[in-house]
């Protein structure tokens, strides 16, 4: 198979997630089109895996229809404070934004950024239902954020940066929008060992959070290269995949990483 280019990958991922938003599905992949199990596919999780990532207390005040498409819980580890400005990359239907909004309070602000119009529409509807006035959702790409420089205290993301074909650009943009001393706290999929070529070259596996995953050491090196200091893996979850037909099950895991922009 010919290696896919960046725009083709983005188009496929955007269309996949648009379908998820329309269906209000609770998985990274649309159930009818996943070619093989991945850490974000329905076969890797039983039911709504929000219950596996978040506590009952965190979810108590949210609608049962607001589900997670992620692989971790960066909000719990991000050390958010009242009054903070938070940016969520790939905010989906808004779950991590709404949890962040509870932590930063009415004096704080949460911005959800997503490249899929259908996700933005659903997230805004969810925010209206929850009567949250300190959350807003913007349409845009992580590689070119419609966010003012040095305007954000904390950037979070949940199993989304792996979907970008240009992660260097993402981390440079995160560095740009953070205030001096600001924190990056992301959960994402990383690999141990090289994945098979048919996985790397598959659009299905890109949308399934696998093909774009990096080796953990490479992931941290890209964060450092963007200018961050002290990147640290603060949580590692064991592989959740069942080793699908692509054979990647024992090679991928979810990590949560923190890093600081120098003051």
DSSP string, 170-237: HHHHHHHHEEEEEEEEEEEEEESSPPPHHHHT-HHHHHTTSTT-EEHHHHHHHHHHTT-EEEEEEEEE
**Whether residue 50 has pLDDT greater than 80:** no
CA angle (15, 20, 24) in 5-degree steps: 155
111 SS3 class: strand
Task: Name the residue with higher pLDDT: 58 or 40.
Answer: 58
Question: Is residue 28 very low, low, confident or very high in pLDDT (cuts 50, 70, 90)?
Answer: very low
pLDDT of residue 67: 78
pTM metric for this prediction: 0.84
Would you state the structure tokens that stand for residue 196, as one six-digit string?
């098979």
Asked whether residue 9 carries a pLDDT value surpassing 80, the answer given is: no
Q: Which stretches of 65-128 are assigned E, i.e. beta strand?
A: 85-89, 109-114
d(CA 54, CA 72): 9
Question: 214-215 and 178-191 as β-strands: parallel, antiparallel, unpaired?
Answer: parallel
Average pLDDT taken over every residue of the chain: 81
Domains of the chain with bracketed CATH: 6-260 (3.40.50.150)
118-177 pLDDT tens trace: 999 999 999 999 999 999 999 999 999 999 999 999 999 999 998 898 999 999 999 999
Residue 96, both tokens: 């991590």
Per-residue pLDDT tens digits for 181-213? 999 999 998 887 777 666 666 666 555 667 678
Question: How many Å apart are CA 179 and CA 175, to the nearest integer?
Answer: 8
Q: Is the pLDDT of residue 104 over 50?
A: yes
pLDDT band at 14 (very low <50, low <70, confident <90, very high): confident
Higher-confidence residue of 7 and 25: namely 7
Contacting residues for 59 by C-beta, under 8 A, at least 6 apart:
50, 51
């Amino acid at each position: 198979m010919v290696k896919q280019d960046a725009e083709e990958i983005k188009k496929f991922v955007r269309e996949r997630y648009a379908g998820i938003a329309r269906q209000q599905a609770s998985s990274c992949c649309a159930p009818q089109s996943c070619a093989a199990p991945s850490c974000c596919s329905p076969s890797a999780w039983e039911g709504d895996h929000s219950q596996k990532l978040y506590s009952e207390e965190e979810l108590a005040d949210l609608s049962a229809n607001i589900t997670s498409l992620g692989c971790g819980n960066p909000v719990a580890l991000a050390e958010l404070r009242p009054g903070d400005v938070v940016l969520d990359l790939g905010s989906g239907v808004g779950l991590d934004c709404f949890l962040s909004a509870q932590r930063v309070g009415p004096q704080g602000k949460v911005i959800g950024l997503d490249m899929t119009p259908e996700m933005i529409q659903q997230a805004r509807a969810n925010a209206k239902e929850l009567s949250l006035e300190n959350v807003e959702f913007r349409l845009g790409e992580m590689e070119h954020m419609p966010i003012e420089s040095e305007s954000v205290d904390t950037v979070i993301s949940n199993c989304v940066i792996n979907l970008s074909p240009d992660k260097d650009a993402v981390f440079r943009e995160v560095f740009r929008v953070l205030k001096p001393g600001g924190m990056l706290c992301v959960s994402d999929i990383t690999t141990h060992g090289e994945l098979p070529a048919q996985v790397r070259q598959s659009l299905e596996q890109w949308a399934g959070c696998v093909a774009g995953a990096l080796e953990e050491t490479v992931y941290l090196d890209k964060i450092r290269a963007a200018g961050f200091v002290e990147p640290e893996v603060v949580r590692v979850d064991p592989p959740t995949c069942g080793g699908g037909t692509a054979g990647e099950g024992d090679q991928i895991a979810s990590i949560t990483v923190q890093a600081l922009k120098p003051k």
